[in-house]
Structures are given as structure tokens and as C-alpha cells.
Amino acid sequence: MSVKKTIFAFLIILCSITSSHAKLKITFAPELGVMGGTTEYEMDIQGSFIDSSGSSPVYAKRRITSLLEYPLDVTIAGLTAEIRPIENPNRWSIELKYLTNLNDPKSKMVDRDWDEITSKFPYMLWSETESEAKMNMTIFDFETRFRIIQKSRMDISIIAGGRYQKIEQNLFGIEGWQKSFIDSLNMYSETAGIFSGYEGVNGLYYKIEYKQFKIGLLSDIYLSENVTSQLKFAFAPASFNDVDDHLLRNKLSKSKGDGNGFLAGFNLRYDLSHSTLSYIQLSTSYNYYSGNGAQTQEWYGDDPGSPEDDTGNISSGIPHTIRSKQFGIGLQIGITF
């Protein structure tokens, strides 16, 4: 089932629950905000070989690293649906949130590459390029809360739920520099070449999906009759899978893996009416995730950057790391029916 169909089905269920139980209400809260951060896509390959480029063969170690940083600085909008009891509304709640981006990132995707051969040259940056990003994003977040501690001016609740996120980016144009590798010497050229002639060219397509489970704590601090501050922290293990299509190199890379992360947030909420449960809320969030897996690369055509025909070549088991740092600020207006 698609994300949009899942959301629609959940909203129907919420409406049917509230219509059959007069003591429950559903609140819809449109949201507008901004998001920032990056997704880092890293491969770090280390191995050894016999270097025979000199007068006599020598044992050498080689390390190759590729790091791509995808920008996430966009304007976001979405809708939250929340169900809770009319009496004692902070006792428990069920919440579903949908978010998407309204524009493309202002920052550029940065692609950097390092290399090292112990008998020839130290670990060095040999390529750095930038590309414009076109982006589509979907976030689907489900969360339940149950109060476990109640004080006069503070409640503490346990929260649990899940989070799904899909990010797609098409990268256009290449600007930057790159040194050429001289095979006969096992060394890079001293001077770097400048990329040109790629303006407007779609060079890469990237997609990543995260599936996270979360469990944590939420505190409600009642600053006044109408103002409440909320602080949330949750442990969030996750799995990921991604697709990296180098269109200019005719190379498709796929990987999957898992890792750990955490979610944190701070909200400041002003209740417009206790009888209707309507409110205005300023929300901030931070999401960090780091995971490891293995990547498989397949050439569906000839790579123009290599001397031989690469079509059909497959390389698997490549170490692959994903790191994502995301933060957001949003404004919600909750309307209860």
C-alpha cells in the first residue's frame, strides 16, 4: 500500500472512531516550516596489492573513499491528524503526520573523492565537484503516547511509533575539479582539470528510504493555563535502502543496511480553547541516523571514464555508510472537529 493510501485509510479510521465514541475528538493541524541538514553517502574501500610500477615490486596498501553530501534545506508543508479523549486530553493520544517539500534545495550536492597508495602517495583529495539538486520527499510519521507520571505542572509520557521517509534527488550540472590517474605510474597528475560543458545535464539520480521504529519519553510542562512546552527524546533504530544511478557512467548502485539514531524535539503550544482542543504550536525537531550496509554496483552500459567496455560488470560487497542529520522548524494550527 502506498503512503498516500495508508494516510487516507488511517484518516477514515480516525473519523469512524470519533463518530462512534462521543468522548473522543480528532484534531487536524496543517503545518508549514523549514527543514535543513544533509544526507551523507560514503564508501570507504581498503585493500592491498603488489605495486610493480617501479624498478622492483613492492607491497602496497590502497584506500579509496567517496563521499557525497546531499542537501536537505527546503520548505516543508504537511498535515497532522491526532485523536485524544476530550476529558483529560493529555492522558493518551494517537498521531499521524504527513510532510513533503515545496521547493528544491538551495545548497548544492557535493561529491568528494580521496585515494591513497602507501608506496606512492598519502591519503589525498583528488576530486571535488558540485551539482544542483531537484528533490522530492515524503515523510510519514506515526506516534502514540501514554502518560505514566502526572504532577501538578508536569506530565511525563512514554511514546512509541514509526517513521518512514523517502527522498529522491536528480542532480544537474557538474562544477569543480579532478586530477587524472596515471595508470603506468600508479599516481595522480600534479595539476587538476576543471569540469565544463555539463550545464543542465542530469548526471545522477539518487533515492533513499528510511524505516524507523521509535520509543522514548515526552514531558509536558504547563507554563500557564494556556501555554505548554513539550520536550521529546526517542531512540530510533532504522533500516535503509538506496539507489544511486550514475547516468553519465552507466552505473547503477544499490545498497541496504541498518543502524541506530535518535529523534529529539521541542514544542511550544498555545491552547486557543480547552473546550474545542484547538491550538497554535511552534515545533522544532532534530533527527540523526547512522547506518552501515553493503553495496552492489552494476554497469548497464560502457563507462566512458574507463578504457575497457564495462557493460555487464558487477561488483558487490562494497562497504557502504549512510549518515543523515535533519532539523526542522514548523508552525501548526490545530482545528478540532
Q: pLDDT per position in the chain (337 positions), as tens? A: 555 555 555 555 555 554 445 588 889 999 999 999 999 999 999 998 887 777 778 888 999 999 999 999 999 999 999 998 888 878 999 999 999 999 999 999 999 999 999 988 999 999 999 999 999 999 999 999 999 999 989 999 999 999 999 999 999 999 999 999 888 888 899 899 998 888 899 999 999 999 999 999 999 999 998 999 999 999 999 999 999 999 999 999 999 999 999 999 999 999 887 666 688 999 999 999 999 999 999 999 999 878 889 899 999 999 999 999 999 999 999 988 7
Length of the chain, please?
A: 337
Q: Is 240 exposed, middle or buried (0-12, 13-18, 19+ CB in 10 A)?
A: buried
Nearest CA-CA partner of 24 in 82, 102, 98, 110: 82
Burial (CB < 10 A; 0-12, 13-18, 19+), residue 9, is exposed
Residue located via cell numbers 497532522: 80
Q: Which residue has the cell 605510474?
A: 185
* Cell triple for 283: 515545533
- Using alpha carbons, select from 240, 89, 135, 116 the residue that is nearest to residue 186: 116
**E runs forming strands in the chain:** 24-51, 58-71, 74-85, 92-101, 109-117, 121-150, 154-182, 187-194, 202-222, 227-235, 238-246, 251-273, 278-299, 314-336
Classified by CATH at the fold level, domain 3-336 comes out as: Lipocalin (2.40.128)
157 and 145 in contact (C-beta within 8 Å)? yes
Cβ-count burial 159-191 (b if 16+ within 10 Å, e if not): bebebbbebebbbbbbebebbeeeeeebebeee
Closest C-alpha among 318, 316, 321, 219 to residue 260: 321
pLDDT for position 52: 78
Instruction: Tell me which residue of 107, 289, 113 sits closest to 209, measured CA to CA.
Output: 289
pLDDT of residue 4: 55
What amino acid occupies position 83? I
Alpha-carbon span 94 to 35, nearest angstrom = 24
